[in-house]
Amino acid sequence: MSTPNPMVTPPGPIPEVSKATISIAGLPVDVYGLKELSPAAKAVSCLWLHHGRLRMKEDMAPTASLALSAWHRTSASSTRGLIAVAFDQRNHGSRKINDLNNQAWRQGNPTHAQDMFGTVNAMVVDTSLLLDALEGYIFGNGDFAAEGGKLRAIDQHLALGVSLGGHSVWQTLFAEPRVTAGVVVIGCPDYMTLMTDRARLSKRDTFSVADNGAGFLGSRDFPLALVGACKKYDPKGILFGTGQIAPQQPSDEEKARLRSILDPRIRGKKFQLLSGGKDKLVPYAKGEPFLNFFKAAVETWYEDGGVSVEDIIYPEAGHEFSPRMMQDAVRFIVDVVDGADKGKSAASAKI
C-alpha cells in the first residue's frame, strides 16, 4: 500500500519562527522558537515533533510555526516559554541508509512490519536520549539564559506525531514518564491488528482467509521476535499481549492488573487523538476496540488516574493532517502549556 504525503499545506501564510539546527548527541536537531523566548521565561515547555514515514524533520516546520505563534499570540505568561523540536526518524532524511526498508510490502520490502516497528520504537528511544541532553545543549552554556543570567529549565514535555510519528507518540506516552501530553495524528495504538489487516489488503500469503489471519502473527512477515517487541512497547500489546482486549468493565482482579501497568506509564497524562474517517492506510477501526476500552477506563474505573482523552474523527478526512486537525492540535497544545503553571500554582496553594 502506497503512502500518501499526510502533511497538507495549511491555508494562508505560515508565521515565521526562528529555527536553530544543533548537533545534539550526534543527531542534527531543529529547535524552533529559541529567539522568541521572553527574557523573563525561566520555565520552558518543549513540543517534540515526530514526522511520518517517507518524510523528514523539515516537514514538521509548519506545525512548529503554527503552534509557537499561537502560544505567543494568546499566552499572558511572561515567565513560561515554548519551543518545538524536530529530528529525523531513523533511516529518514539525513539518516537514510536504505530506501527499500522504508517501503511497504507492495513496494517489494519483505521486512516491512519489522522495519516500520523498529523505526517507531527507535523514535521513542531517540526522544528519550535527546530529552536527557537537550536542556544542557541549548541552555547550559548561557547563550539563551533568562533575565539576570539565570539558567532556564525545560520542565514540561509534549509530543505530536503524524502517521508513523503518531504510532511513535502512542509508544512515547506509554514509555517516557517526562512526556505528559501528546497529539496522535492518524496513528494507531494496536500495531499487531493494524499490520494483520495490512497483510490482508496486501494479499500476503502469510495471511490466510480461511482462518481470518489467525496464523499471521508469528509468520515470516511478522516473526515471533516482533510479536514480543509489541508486547513490550505497543499500547495494546503492553496491556493485553496477543489476547483479547478486556471488556469495558473488567473484573476486579483484571482492574488491579491493569492499574499496575497504567499507573507508572500514563497516570495524569493528556491524549489528543485525531483520525480521518476515510483513512485507508491507518483505519480508525483497527484501533477502535482498544480505544473504546481505553476511553471507558479513564472515564469510569480508572477515573482517579487523572488521564484525559480527546478523540476526534474527521468524517471527510483521509490519511492526512488536515487544516482542521491542525487547528485542534494547536488549541490542545496551547491549553496544555497554559495549564503547566496553573497546576503548579494550585499545588503550591495546598502546601
Residue 164: which of 323, 331, 5 has the closest Cα? 5
Closest CA to 168 of 309, 297, 49, 265: 49
181-202, pLDDT tens digit by residue? 999 999 999 999 999 999 999 9
Containing 161, the helix (H) or strand (E) segment is strand 153-162
Q: pTM for the full model?
A: 0.93
CA 315 and chain centroid, separation: 22
What is the distance of C-alpha 256 from the center of its chain? 27
Residue 68 near residue 175, CB atoms below 8 Å: no
Identity of the residue numbered 148: G
Going from the N-terminus, what domains does the chain have, and what CATH number goes with each?
19-350 (3.40.50.1820)
Give the Cα-Cα-Cα angle 321, 326, 332 (nearest 5 degrees).
130
Angle, vertex CA 104, rays to CA 101 and CA 110, nearest 5: 65
CA distances from 14 to 64, 113, 201 (A): 10, 36, 38
Residue-level pLDDT, tens digit, the chain, 351 residues: 456 688 777 777 888 999 999 999 999 999 999 999 998 899 999 999 999 999 999 999 999 999 999 999 988 778 899 999 999 999 999 999 999 999 999 999 999 999 999 999 999 999 999 999 999 999 986 567 666 667 889 999 999 999 999 999 999 999 999 999 999 999 999 999 999 999 999 999 999 998 989 999 999 999 999 999 999 999 999 999 999 999 988 999 999 999 999 999 999 999 999 999 999 999 999 999 999 999 999 999 999 999 999 999 999 999 999 999 999 999 999 999 999 987 564 443 333
- Tracing cell 524533520 back to the chain, one arrives at 57
Q: Do 34 and 141 meet the contact criterion of CB atoms below 8 Å apart?
A: no
Grid cell 471527510 — which residue? 316
